Structure 1
Amino acid sequence: MADRALQRGWLTLSDVEHRLTEHPGRTGNTRLREVATTCGDGAAAHSERLLHRLLRQAGIDDWLPNHPVWFEGELVAVVDVAIRSARLAIEVDGRAFHTDVDRFQRDRQRQNALVALGWTVLRFTWADLIERPGYVVATIQGHLP
């Protein structure tokens, strides 16, 4: 729920930090601190946190979470994980977030724009992260210099 609130702009991490600073002893702050720690890692969703963990465990570094890709002053995309040195964009597709037809269409257009700029786009699902983590890591490593 915290991920969704942050994605939608209903809440920011600075809002959470402000609440914790201004009202340190308030009921619920223990849980709020956990939310701040979990959501403050640059990931926009739990699935992205799983991907980050796989990357760290595999010793893959030089990656950036939720990285904006710009071209000629325009934002082309914000990729879930970018490895700029390899021009590699890694996307995690959740079924719930990608069921909207317009969102699905925008994602495809965004991917095409990235490819046109020389990026390779790898897409993984929740099932890939949970059931086939070795496949995810091997596929990513196969695209690294």
Structure 2
Amino acid sequence: MHQVTVGPGDVVKVAGIPATSSLRTVSDVILRVDRYPAVSVLDSALNQGRIDPAQLAAIPNLIRGRRGAVVAHACLAEADGRAQSPLETRSRLRCVDGRVPPDALQLEVRDDDGYLLGIGDLGWRGPRLIAEADGRDAHGTPEAAYADRRRQNRLVNAGWTILRFTWQDTLHPSYIPHTVRQAIAAAHRR
């Protein structure tokens, strides 16, 4: 049996039930899971405002000397609250691991008049490439599919290449970076 001591600031009430605070929960979780879920938890906590950047910076002190701290420290460096889903995080990490990291997350693309054409999950500005992480929940309805198509058409007409990735794609380590690399190469040939 494993027991951890919690301090008074580590416990909050949720619907009247004692629970660990978001900061404590995130700190404990990243010590016990692999890199992809750890970075996903960090990204989600930041994106949803469960923790803020100052609290993120405090996590190294909270995990110091605990089992898993070395790996967790590396995960902290990769956290980015702009990721809006675990699928976006996984897609970004596949690109990082494949040595084609995006240079922007939630990249806003505007026309010459400043009109917002669309926002891309992952972006490479030089080759004008956007990768979308299409989750079933956010993109599974007909209305969402139609909106995605209209946005994609606007972006393509403005000279951007759009790639779409799913959870299944993240299960194959080389697929996403290979596909991104091919699109970047094609853009440089134009």
Q: Deviations over 1:11-45 (max 9, x none)?
A: xxxxxxxxxxxxx9151241266798333312100
Equivalent residue number for residue 109 of structure 2: 69
Matched, 1:37 2:21: no
Matched, 1:48 2:88: yes
Q: How many residues align?
A: 121
Structure 2 Cα separation of the partners of residues 124 and 36 of structure 1 = 20
Between 67-76 and 30-39, report the one with greater CA deviation.
Answer: 30-39
Matched, 1:60 2:44: no
Structure 2 Cα separation of the partners of residues 114 and 103 of structure 1 = 16
Determine which structure has more spread, i.e. the larger CA radius of gyration.
2
After TM superposition, the structure 1 = structure 2 runs for residues 45-124 of structure 1, keeping only pairs within 5 Å, are 45-71=85-111, 72-124=113-165
Structure 1 Cα separation of the partners of residues 41 and 134 of structure 2 = 24
Of residues 91, 115, 127 in structure 1, which corresponds to 2:168? 127
Change over 3 Å in CA distance of 1:137–1:62 after alignment to 2: closer
Structure 2 Cα separation of the partners of residues 62 and 140 of structure 1 = 10
Partner of 2:138: helix, strand, or coil? coil
Q: Deviations over 1:31-88 (max 9, x none)?
A: 2667983333121000011011111111223521111111121111110101000100
Q: TM-score, normalised by structure 2?
A: 0.58
Q: TM-score, normalised by structure 1?
A: 0.74
Structure 2 Cα separation of the partners of residues 114 and 134 of structure 1 = 26
Structure 2 Cα separation of the partners of residues 105 and 65 of structure 1 = 23
Structure 2 Cα separation of the partners of residues 113 and 128 of structure 1 = 25
Equivalent residue number for residue 15 of structure 1: none
Of structures 1 and 2, the one with the larger relative CO (CA 8 A, separation 6+) is: 1
Partner of 1:60: helix, strand, or coil? coil
Q: Percent identity?
A: 30
Structure 2 Cα separation of the partners of residues 69 and 25 of structure 1 = 43
Shift of 1:135: 1.8
C-alpha contact 2:95 2:176 (8 A) present in aligned 1: no
Shift of 1:129: 1.0
Q: Deviations over 1:104-128 (max 9, x none)?
A: 1000000000000000001111101
Structure 2 Cα separation of the partners of residues 133 and 114 of structure 1 = 27
Change over 3 Å in CA distance of 1:32–1:137 after alignment to 2: closer
Partner of 1:133: helix, strand, or coil? coil
